Structure 1
Amino acid sequence: MYIYVDFADTNIVITEPYFNFSSIQESMNEILFEEYQFQSALRINAGSLSSHRYFHENNSELCCIVVDSGFSSTHIVPYCRGRKMKEGICRITVGGKLLTNHLKEIISYRQLHVMDETYVINQVKEDVCYVSQDFCKDMEIAQLKGEDNTVMREYVLPDFSSIKKGFCKPREEMNFTGKYKTGDQILRLTNERFAVPEMLFHPSDIGIQEMGIPEALVNSINNMPEEMQPHFYKNIVLTGGNTLFPGYRDRVYKEVRALAPVEYEVSVVLPQNPICYPWEGGKLLAENPDFEEMVVTREDYEENGHYVCEEKFDV
């Protein structure tokens, strides 16, 4: 089914990165208003939409801090009364793409050349990886032999003929001898399962000299005025695809709790759908009675150019 959209009668809400280059912003304005000729547009950060969604549900709260961990990177952004606190924004150059690429390198070195199979290995990562609550203990288990190794999983790769999508074997069907039939394409995964997501918490493990997510969260909150800090600690919101790793929320809470002052309450919220959470915020924003005050109309743009966008869009 095709749905025809008349851009001239359509408003658009479009997300962009934090501290985006002005040249890219100007190009985006030109595409939206000159090429597609939308009736009006709002350029905004994904974190701002997430905070709008959170404050809508928790209208008694004054502050929140959004952890947006996606494909390319992770951003930590504090908000107060819906306003972005730029002095507290922190960026970590670890995202889902880096994790998938690292898993490809590990598997290619240990088992099977998969450097050209980004889509398949990304699926492997999503199906079997998890965030460890005790890294050293899990490493000890991963070194055990046979059925004592409760970390080990066998992943059946797709052949795109009889097997369209890869899957993780049930534990009772696993082959602990390590001998497989000719033609079977099976990955045996042990410490990769938790060592790959660990990069979100310790980027220095692979030579990236940056803070992990919990440390960056605390650093960001410490950059805020002291009287606001308790409000941020009890309103930590996790968004983005990386938050779907089992154990992610618990690990963030555990490490932030250890780093935060003992007198502060710490609460970490993982929404039901952390990937679509900003979209939900955008939907609420579009239904807001003040929405027309936030956007730039095509007439405004044609009259004032890029200047009016710079003035209205706080990105």
Structure 2
Amino acid sequence: MATLVLDNGAYTAKIGYSQEKVSVIPNCQFRSKTSRLKTFTANQLDEIKDPSGLFYILPFQKGYLVNWDVQRKVWDHLFGKEMFKVEFADTSVVITEPYFNFTSIQESMNEILFEEYQFQSALRINAGSLSAHHYFHTKPSELCCLVVDSGFSFTHISPYCRSKKMKEGISRINVGGKLLTNHLKEIISYRQLHVMDETHVINQVKEDVCYVSQQFYKDMEIAQMKGEENAVMRDYVLPDFSSIKKGFCKPREEMVYNGKYKTGEQILRLANERFVVPEILFQPSDIGIQEMGIPEAIVHSIQSLPEEMQPHLYQNIILTGGNTLFPGFRERLEAELRSLVPAHLPVSVLLPANPICYSWEGGKLLAHSPDYDEMVVTREDYEENGHCICEEKFDI
């Protein structure tokens, strides 16, 4: 029987059969300024000629799946003919959901998977549990690990011991990629150019130019210098969607410090924005969010667990989710943890080659594991026992 693994994130869905490669697809619908009446779904984004002023219709709000109409349309598209051609009656599905998900959302998901799509069997699981499974698979001698998943809506910190999640140690910080993009939009709109409607473009700017500072105050001093001495400053060429399809950073040797560019390109000049925006992950209080940053939250999470587990957790910290791709993220996190953790405990932070698909790969491994059949709920089980069988089996 085929197994479809779907890491259903709030920004992208990572999907693929367990024998094949993963596809990363936007988990939302879009409307564009130019074609207001037409709605584009998931990877149809590529068909939009002019993605300026792109309007996102998201199934997730604040990290929870609330808009089922949009989610169904995205799933219909993914499962349909042009994408994965799913034969529901012969397919088992592994699907992720957030920690401490609401019962009403879980029940809706059971109904849609079993009653509407009629999958043969299903497993609902947290993305962090799949990441932990992946890690223990690659390092079978390790007892514990700590998954730091910094995604679109939240950053979750989840300790695992022998593949079992330690619920009392799970922490959540209400800072994710969406907040960072919105903050960057506000800064640029205030300082240079009104971009509050340009989520798509500014998200690209964030991914292309932002980085995590290793010495925040020193970088702040450099960012205030004039001309070529300002090593932080970058000029970003915005797309016009006719000749420039995708924005890019001007090479430093081509930057003009005084005067204008002759080419007529639209330029954003970015200095301290480049590191101030990702800094929110480490210091949410900078913009008035009264919460711990990631390093403090990790220490808080580990200290809430038995003492004998703590050294193992500090030594096996895995980073997943899109925000961990900011240059300097891993180094800064390791350095801050080092200063917070007792000197005799070793600290090790691992950034996988592809942190966005790490949990999907874990789902792929799980689908091939001998215990998989014990973990799923079959459609027969569901038809006989309803939601309670899912509650028993899925330890969410």
TM-score range with shorter-chain normalisation? over 0.9
Deviation at 1:289, TM superposition (A): 1.0
Structure 2 match to 1:175: 256
Q: State the alpha-carbon separation in 2 of the partners of residues 174 and 17 from structure 1.
A: 44
Within a 5 Å distance, the mapping from 1:158-307 to structure 2 comes to: 158-181=239-262, 183-307=264-388
Q: State the alpha-carbon separation in 2 of the partners of residues 237 and 172 from structure 1.
A: 37
Instruction: Tell me if 1:87 matches 2:168.
Output: yes
Q: State the alpha-carbon separation in 2 of the partners of residues 68 and 202 from structure 1.
A: 17
Structure 2 match to 1:43: 124
Deviation at 1:6, TM superposition (A): 1.1
Deviation at 1:253, TM superposition (A): 0.1
Structure 1 match to 2:16: none
1:223-262 Cα distance to aligned partner (Å, 9 max, x none): 0100110000000000000000000000000001110011
Any idea what SS the aligned residue of 1:200 has? coil
Q: State the alpha-carbon separation in 1 of the partners of residues 387 and 168 from structure 2.
A: 25
Instruction: Tell me if 1:127 matches 2:212.
Output: no
Deviation at 1:184, TM superposition (A): 2.7
Within a 5 Å distance, the mapping from 1:21-40 to structure 2 comes to: 21-40=102-121
Q: 1:230 to 1:38 in 2, by over 3 A?
A: same
* Amino acid across the alignment from 2:382: Y
Q: Which runs of 4+ in 1 moved over 3 A?
A: 180-183
Instruction: Tell me if 1:74 matches 2:155.
Output: yes
Deviation at 1:4, TM superposition (A): 2.7
Q: State the alpha-carbon separation in 2 of the partners of residues 184 and 270 from structure 1.
A: 36
Any idea what SS the aligned residue of 1:196 has? helix
Q: State the alpha-carbon separation in 2 of the partners of residues 178 and 214 from structure 1.
A: 42
Deviation at 1:291, TM superposition (A): 0.3
Q: 1:182 to 1:162 in 2, by over 3 A?
A: closer
- Report which structure shows greater RCO (CA 8 Å, sep ≥6): 1
Q: State the alpha-carbon separation in 2 of the partners of residues 260 and 4 from structure 1.
A: 50
Structure 1 match to 2:185: 104
Q: State the alpha-carbon separation in 1 of the partners of residues 261 and 175 from structure 2.
A: 35
1:122-174 Cα distance to aligned partner (Å, 9 max, x none): 00000000000000000000000000000000000000000000000000000
Deviation at 1:179, TM superposition (A): 2.7
* Amino acid across the alignment from 2:216: F
Which runs of 5 or more structure 2 residues have no equivalent in the other structure? Answer: 1-81
Percent of aligned pairs with the same amino acid: 79
* Amino acid across the alignment from 2:286: D
Q: State the alpha-carbon separation in 1 of the partners of residues 85 and 386 from structure 2.
A: 28
Query: What is the CA RMSD across the aligned residues, in angstroms?
Result: 1.0
Q: State the alpha-carbon separation in 2 of the partners of residues 59 and 260 from structure 1.
A: 25
Q: State the alpha-carbon separation in 1 of the partners of residues 195 and 83 from structure 2.
A: 37
Deviation at 1:182, TM superposition (A): 8.1
Aligned residues: 315
Any idea what SS the aligned residue of 1:136 has? helix
* Amino acid across the alignment from 2:100: F
Which runs of 5 or more structure 1 residues have no equivalent in the other structure? Answer: none
Give the TM-score of the pair, scaled to structure 1: 0.99
